[in-house]
Amino acid sequence: MTYYADYQCHRGHGRFDCPDNLLDHRGASNVYGLIIHDGGGSSVAIGYCPWCGTELAESRRFLAETLSEESSGMPARTIEV
């Protein structure tokens, strides 16, 4: 996963423009995603490694939202990724 998450295009394309780059990793929120190669900068969040099926670490953004909801007294919601 680390190889694909840190992949640098050898042709000089940007992260989302390189056809060889398949995986996006947002370090701040610890979200992994499969890049959508449609000319934009989108990716689809994933919860499991697409190669071996290992469950990935939970997103820090999801944990922050859950903790915020619990401390506010609002019911926690489950977000399937």
pLDDT in tens, 13-68: 888 899 999 998 887 778 889 999 998 888 898 888 888 888 887 765 554 444 44
**Could you tell me if residue 38 is inside a domain?**
yes
Expressed as residue numbers, the domain containing 32 is 2-72
Q: What is the pLDDT of residue 35?
A: 92
Q: Is residue 55 part of a domain?
A: yes
CA–CA dist 72, 11 (Å, integer): 49
How many domains would you assign to the chain?
A: 1
Residue 53 belongs to some domain of the structure: yes
Say whether 5 sits in a helix, a strand or coil: helix
Instruction: Tell me, yes or no, whether 78 lies in a domain.
Output: no
pLDDT at 75 (0 to 100) = 52
Single pTM value for the model: 0.64
In a domain, 77, yes or no: no
pLDDT of residue 36: 92
CA distance 68 to 32: 22
Q: Is the pLDDT of residue 77 over 70?
A: no
